[in-house]
Structures are given as structure tokens and as C-alpha cells.
Structure 1
Amino acid sequence: MHVIVVGGGIAGLAAAHRLVGAGARVTLLESSGAFGGKLRTGHVAGVQVDLGAESILARRPEGVGLARAVGLGDALRPPAVSSAAIWTRGALRPMPQGQVMGVPSTAASLAGVLSDAGLAQIARDSELPPLAVGEDEAVGRLVAERMGPEVVDRLVEPLLGGVYAGDAYRISLRSAVPRLWEAARAHDTLLAAVRAVQRESAGRAPGEPVFAGLEGGVGTLAAAVVADLTARGAALETGVAVTGLRRTGRGWAAALGDGRSLAADGVLLAVPAPAAARLLAAEAPAAAGELAAVEYASMAIVTLAFRRADLARLPRGSGFLVPAVDGRVIKAATFTSGKWDWAAAADPDLFVLRTSVGRLGDEGPLRWEDAELVRAALMDLGEAAGLSAKPVDAVVTRWLHGLPQYDVGHHARVERVRGFLAGLPGLRVAGAAYDGVGIAACVGSAEQAASELLRTLPAGPAEEARE
């Protein structure tokens, strides 16, 4: 049984790992020059850091499970600190407790983040008619109707923006916050729904970390999976674009940019939605049309290294979020050397942090030169955290069209795509465009797609054709 996996990000790597483990012969093709996608490590002032994703949701098993499966179990690390803040109304304010993706269960601890009028509006939720949440709706619209727009602007938007770089008034409740969507359909008020989600979370093991990192950065996960696949005999190629797919009498044929044609029993597409749409246009035009409509946001990460001796005081906590309504350039900051012990130990004389820039509809700063982005980040950091020192090194990493937008109706769109593809044996899709943008969600999507593909494929291998 031969399967071609298209796309060498974490979803493609995870899919290939599941397929190889089941005995399939796998060819993994990545169009760029490196595997890993948005899992990428680099160096700032000699310290290895993540330049893309920097943590794994540990309360889902798939991401940490893959890390353990490829020998990184001993490298898993919880954050050294978990306290975060919101930079709003001119000050860093502790992240309010008792909230689910920014939706509060109480007005307590929100003073300073919300105005008195904003605080008063939260209580209105209990006075409104019972919730009537349908198949889907925008997170921002529901929260604004029940608790007022300030909650959206100052709490929900910064948290959703940190994940999707999107617009809270467009983002799907069902796809982005599925547990809250389920609870909202079962309760009369949004406050009650949030409390129900919190009770569910409270039932987890005491002290269980929400997130995990890897010593040396989560980007090391990609390299470990590549090494494991290579040792198991998978064929891995970078710099090879797949330009077309067609069904054959025995399975599928993939046309490659270098002129080759590869035959396989099955194909698993683990590429962004626009790329999947192009490859599916001939054989699955309806699915291609749905995927072509998925919008993507761009962002940049500015990683900075300071000498600790130059800092009047060290930033505390894991970092902070920034509401778009406050008009700052950066949307978040992560204090890498404070959050991850391994990063602090890599060079005790340095303090490394990173800021992120770019939101859907506000991507102008991404066209700035690197030096301009660094200056803007330093200016915001100076105002927020009192950082006035000059960094000893800076690295700017741009992720253009990197984050799929889960607009209202996204879940139904994904179901339609999978319904269209169900009629094409030996073809599945996986990745951030479907069931979640985090590492754990992408690994879960890939493993499910690979398992489904294995159930539909014949036992005998297809011969490789070259033209």
C-alpha cells in the first residue's frame, strides 16, 4: 500500500507517522525547502527559540502523544509561569480569572479592564430572554448581545486574536470555542454556559498543565518526526511541488513540478485550503470551491534578546495580550525567558521575548521593513512593560497567509468538503483549515484522516510511475 502525503507541516508529518506505523509505504512531499511548516526554530543572540508555534495544548493527547512517540517525552516541559496580563487602558492588568476564551463567568476581577458601564452590562445576561443558540453564530455577536461590546473588545478579541489573528465578530463559536457552543445550547444564560465549561475543566487532574513546550522549542518536534520517518523507510522530499492530481484505474497519480508523475493507492492532502483547492479542482470541484473560500490572515513575530544587566526590571509573568481597540502595533508579547526554563538556562545573561504583529484587515505593518517592525515593537514594549534597553539581537519572522479564518458556518463547510470527498476512495484532507489551528488539533486531524484512509485502501501496493 503506497500513500502520497502532500505537505510537510506538522499535519503532514503526523499523517505520515500514523501511515508508516500501520505498515503503509509513504512518500511525503513538501514544496518548500524544509519540513515543519509553522514549527520552526531559529537563533537570537545564540539562543535557540521558536520562530513559529511555541506551545502544545497538553489537555489534548495528540500533540504530546506524538512527541512521546518520536522520543521527545523527556523533553516535554510545562511553562515555568502561567500568569498573563492584558495591556489595556494604559496599564498591564492581570488576565481575569473565570473566563473561557475571554467570556467571563462573573464581573469580579474585571475592574480596570472594563469601565463601570461595561461591568454593569455583564449582569444583563441574566435578565435577557433565554439563550437560543443555533447551528452556529459569531462569538463576538453573541457576547456583545449578552454582555456588551466592551467584553468583546477588551477580553474576547485579544484572546481570539492571539489564536486566529481574526475578527471576533466573524469567528465561529462552534468551530473556535466548541465546548462553549455546546454549553450555550444547553443553558439559558451565557454566564451559566461559561460556568458549565469551567466545571468540566475543574474535573481534570489537579495541577495538570494546560500547555506544554519542548526543550529547545516545539520546532524540534518536526525534526524528530522526520528522523523517525526516515528510520522507518519513508521517502521524504523537500522542494517538490505537487501540481495536479488525477484518478487512475488503480488509485491516484500526482503530477510533480519537476516533471515526474507518482502513482499511489491513496493521497492525503495536508496543505492550506487554497493549495488543496487547486489540487482538487479537477477531481472534486465542489470541495475545491468550498476550500477556495477559506480566508487566511498573516502575521509576523519579532523576537528580541536583551542583556539582563541592561534591564531596570525583568518582565514578570508569561506575557500579555493587547486589544485591537487600543490601537497598538503589537497584539501580544511572550516573555520567552520567563515562560520557559530551558530558554532562560540557555544563556542566563540574556532575556528573550517575542511580540506578534498582524490582524485580519490590519496587516499594513507586515509590509514594513524589519527594522521598522523592531522599532514599533520596542516602542510598545517600552510603554507596556517599561523596557527601554536596546536589544542585542532581533529576528523578524513573517507568516504570510498563515492562519485560516473560522468564519460562521465553518463547521458546516468542513462537513460539506468531507462529504464531497467521501465519494473519492483513497483521498483525504487534514490540517489547520479543518478542525483547529493548534498543534494538537492538527495532529488529531491528521491522525484521523490517515486512519480513515487506511480503512478505504486496498491491501496491494500501487507501482510508482515516472513520466
Structure 2
Amino acid sequence: MRVAVVGGGMAGLAAAHELASSGAEVVVLEGSDRLGGKLRLEKVGGLTLDVGAESILARRPEGIDLIRAVGLGDKMVHPQTTTAAIWTHGALRPMPPTVMGIPADPAALAASGIAELADPRILPVPTEDVSVAEFVTERLGRDVLDRLVEPLLGGVYAGLTDHLSLRATTPQIAALGEDLLTAAAAARAAATASGPVFAGLVGGVGQLPAAVASTPGIEVRLDSTVRALARTSDGWRVSVGPTTDVEVIDVDTVVVAAPAPAAARLLAEEVPEAAFALAAIDYASMAIITFVFDDAVVPEGSGFLVPPVDGTFIKAATVASNKWGWVGESGRTVIRTSVGRAGETTLLQHDDADLAGRALTDLRRAYGTLPDPTDRLVRRWGGGLPQYDVGHLDRVDTIDRALAAAPGLEVCGAAYRGVGIPAVIASGRAAARRLTAAGTMDA
């Protein structure tokens, strides 16, 4: 059985791994010159570092399972510190215990000086989808939303809580029920006893794509843009390459693991209802700016988040040399900063030197004196993060129903039910398993 996987990010690679492990012959068609999507390693100041995603949620099994399956289990590590701060009201303040920004210890919140907790209101969870902002503000006040929930979601989605769907982005908050504070305290206590939250790899999680792609049965073709998909009498025809020299590949099944705009174009002829829903998914752009210092002293802790209401340029900073032992062993100080939120359409139009200079200015305001960096690297992620706006899960249901009428065709990726590495891997594996369960993998 021959399968084409369109897209070589982690969702497509996870689908390819699952299919190849089931005996399929898989060709991964990636339009760019590299695999891995938002996982990427680059040299900065002589160090090889993650310049995209740098950690994996360890409390979901999919990422850990795939790491072990491709032979990287012995490199898996957990952060040395997860103690984070909020940079607000002119100071770095210790982040109190929360569940996605919902305070789990009101006394610790008060002591931190981060936000004022309004008189809590105990209200039913709405049956319809609402924005995160509407749900939280009505129950705990705008200050908790602006200075705790918003910066946390800004780091994950680069989105704004006034638009983000409660059920798609923060089901943990919806699951707290009517009494948010009481339930958050109980949930936080239970989570503390359940082991490490995050994991990484010595040498960077950017090693994972190549390890997955080396699975027997997977052929990778880079610089292979897929132009069209068409149903045939016994499978699918995939048109690949430049318009002046299109190559046709006939396969039995197809997994489209491209971002929503590209997936919408590919599905427009054969599954127009799914294409229409995919076209409604917006994306936000952002950038990671990595600095390497030879002699910099920063406070302990993994870094800090910044509430958008404080008007800073950066939205977060991670001290990678504190967080990861293998980075700290270099003897250098490595700080990653992130910039860019939904709606900030002009921010990333600045050149690299300007982006890095403005980010360094914010770091010096937050940490005090910092020397000039030995090196820095700006990695832009244009259209990198899908926006799960209110009603997102209804769109995904529409896509699923439409694809049910197109046997042998599946979709997966960050545009559907989660943007984190484990969620994206789960999406790819589920797409592969649907093909298997439908009998399309039979020889």
C-alpha cells in the first residue's frame, strides 16, 4: 500500500511513522528544504540550540512515546527549573500557582503583587462556546485575565483571549466548573503529585524530525510542493512540483498535514465543505530571538512572561541555560525571547537587527545590566500558530464530517485539536489509524 503524506512537520512525520510501522510504503512530500515544521536546530554563538519549540508536554504520552520509538529515549531530560515569573508593574514577580492562569492560591497571588482578584462569582459553565476572556472576566475580573491568563495563552497560541475559544484552547479552565478557585486549588495539588510537566532532549528536541524520518518504509522528498489532489478509480493522484514541470504520483491514500490555508487549497475541488472551514482558520506570526552571552548573570528561574497590557516588545523570555542542564554545561548564558501576537501585523516587518535590539532592551529592563551578546539569531515563524477562535471545534467537526465522504483522504496538524508537540503527534497518529481502521491499508 502506497501513501502520500503532504507536509513534513511533526504531524505528517508522526502519521508517516504510524503508517510505515503498519507496513505501508510512505512518501513524505515537503514543500520547503527541511523537515520538522516548528522544530528546528541552529548554531548560535557556536552552540547548537532549538530555535523553535524547545520542550514537550510530558503529561501527555504521545511525544514521549514517539521519542522512545525512534531511539532517542536515552537523551530525554526534564527541566532543571520551572520556576517562572511575570514581568509586570515594573518588576519580575514570582508566578503564583495557577491552572492555566486561574489562581490556585489567592494568598500567593496577593503576595506576588501581579493582579487583584475580584470578588469571585460562582456561575454555571455555559453550554455554548465562549471566549476565554468572557468566561474568566465574568468570574474573576479583568486583572486576573490580563496579567495571568493572557500571558500564558500568548505564549502557547500567540492569540488574544477576547477571541480564543474557551473549549478549544483552555478545556482545563472549563473543566474547573462553577467554582474556579476551589477547583483550581484541588487540580493544582493533584498535578503536583503526578511528575514532571515538561521534557526535552539533550541536544534539542529539533533532533526528533530526522529520527522519525529515518524509520524504514518512509521516503522523504524535500522541495516538493503539492499542487493538486484528485480522486481516481482506485485511489488518489497527487500533482507535485513547479507548474512548468508537474509530476504525477498515484497513491492509494493521502494524509494532508499542511497548514490550514494550504490544506484548504488542496481540498477545494474534492472536499469543498472541508476546504471552506479550513479557510476560516486564521494564523498568527511570531519570532524567537536567541541570545548567547559569555558573561551574564541573571536571576535563578526558567524565565518570565509579560502581560500585553504592559506594552512591552517581548512577550516572554526563557533562560535556556538555567532551564536545561545540557545548555548550562556550555558555561554560557542563553536567553530566548519571543515576540509577536495575533493582530500585530507590522511588528515582524522590522529587520533582524531592530527586532534583536528591541528585545535586548526589554531584557535589560527586566534583568538589569546585561553585557552585549556574543551572538544572536532571529528565527521568524510567519503564520506559525493557528488561532482557535470561538467556534473552532465546530469548524473541526465540519471538516471531519466532510472528509468522511472522501475515503482514503485524511488531514492532521496543529490546525485542529491542539498546537503542542504531543497534540500534533496525536493528530498525525489518529489520521493514520483512521486509514487503517477503514480498511484502506489492506494489501
CA distance in 1, matches of 2:362, 2:17: 42
Match of 1:191 in 2: 181
The 3 A distance-change label for structure 1 pair 112 and 87 is farther
The 3 A distance-change label for structure 1 pair 86 and 129 is closer
CA distance in 1, matches of 2:151, 2:198: 18
Match of 2:290 in 1: 303
Deviation of 1:145 (Å): 0.8
- Specify the code of the residue in structure 2 equivalent to 1:81: T
1:237 and 2:237 matched: no
Deviation of 1:431 (Å): 0.7
Q: Could you say what the CA RMSD is over the residues aligned between the two structures, in angstroms?
A: 1.5
**Mean CA deviation greater in 406-415 or 191-200:** 191-200
1:224 and 2:218 matched: no
Deviation of 1:45 (Å): 0.6
Deviation of 1:170 (Å): 1.1
- Identical pairs, percent: 50
CA distance in 2, matches of 1:445, 1:439: 10
Deviation of 1:129 (Å): 5.5
The counterpart of 2:404, out of the listed 417, 422, 437, is 422
Deviation of 1:195 (Å): 3.5
Whether the aligned pair in 2 keeps the contact of 1:329 and 1:365 (CA below 8 Å) is no
The counterpart of 1:119, out of the listed 80, 92, 116, is 116
CA distance in 2, matches of 1:120, 1:443: 37
Match of 1:449 in 2: 431
Deviation of 1:299 (Å): 0.3
Match of 1:42 in 2: 42
Deviation of 1:362 (Å): 2.0
Deviation of 1:24 (Å): 0.8
Per-residue CA deviations over 1:29-87 (Å, capped at 9, x if unaligned) read 00000011110000111111001000000000000110110000000010011101000
Match of 2:370 in 1: 388
Give 1:254-273 correspondences, 5 Å limit.
254-258=238-242, 259-273=246-260
Give 1:87-106 correspondences, 5 Å limit.
87-97=87-97, 99-106=98-105
Match of 1:82 in 2: 82
SS of equivalent to 1:303: strand
Q: TM-score normalised to the size of structure 2?
A: 0.96
Match of 1:72 in 2: 72
CA distance in 1, matches of 2:91, 2:44: 28
CA distance in 2, matches of 1:113, 1:455: 52
Match of 1:152 in 2: 145
Match of 1:25 in 2: 25
CA distance in 1, matches of 2:375, 2:125: 52
Whether the aligned pair in 2 keeps the contact of 1:11 and 1:430 (CA below 8 Å) is yes
Deviation of 1:179 (Å): 2.8
Deviation of 1:197 (Å): 3.3
Whether the aligned pair in 1 keeps the contact of 2:146 and 2:307 (CA below 8 Å) is yes
CA distance in 2, matches of 1:109, 1:460: 58
Deviation of 1:421 (Å): 0.4
Whether the aligned pair in 1 keeps the contact of 2:29 and 2:225 (CA below 8 Å) is yes
Whether the aligned pair in 1 keeps the contact of 2:117 and 2:144 (CA below 8 Å) is no
Whether the aligned pair in 2 keeps the contact of 1:15 and 1:449 (CA below 8 Å) is yes
Match of 1:130 in 2: 123
- Specify the code of the residue in structure 1 equivalent to 2:41: T
CA distance in 2, matches of 1:154, 1:459: 50
- Specify the code of the residue in structure 1 equivalent to 2:163: R
Deviation of 1:388 (Å): 2.5
Match of 1:142 in 2: 135
1:322 and 2:306 matched: yes
Match of 2:106 in 1: 107
CA distance in 2, matches of 1:277, 1:459: 25
- Specify the code of the residue in structure 2 equivalent to 1:285: P
Deviation of 1:156 (Å): 0.4
Per-residue CA deviations over 1:337-365 (Å, capped at 9, x if unaligned) read 111011112x22x2111100001112432
CA distance in 2, matches of 1:203, 1:389: 40
Match of 1:210 in 2: 197
SS of equivalent to 1:436: coil
Match of 2:161 in 1: 168
Match of 2:278 in 1: 291
Per-residue CA deviations over 1:209-256 (Å, capped at 9, x if unaligned) read 1000101111011111122x2xx1322100001111111100111111
- Specify the code of the residue in structure 1 equivalent to 2:102: V
Match of 1:407 in 2: 389
- Specify the code of the residue in structure 1 equivalent to 2:73: G
- Specify the code of the residue in structure 2 equivalent to 1:63: G
Provide the aligned length of Structure 1 versus Structure 2.
440
Whether the aligned pair in 2 keeps the contact of 1:165 and 1:360 (CA below 8 Å) is yes
Gaps of 5+ in 2: none
**Mean CA deviation greater in 100-109 or 267-276:** 100-109
- Specify the code of the residue in structure 2 equivalent to 1:100: V
CA distance in 2, matches of 1:336, 1:93: 19
Deviation of 1:133 (Å): 1.8
SS of equivalent to 1:252: strand
CA distance in 1, matches of 2:65, 2:122: 44
Deviation of 1:200 (Å): 4.7
1:252 and 2:241 matched: no
Whether the aligned pair in 1 keeps the contact of 2:87 and 2:93 (CA below 8 Å) is yes
**Mean CA deviation greater in 256-265 or 390-399:** 256-265
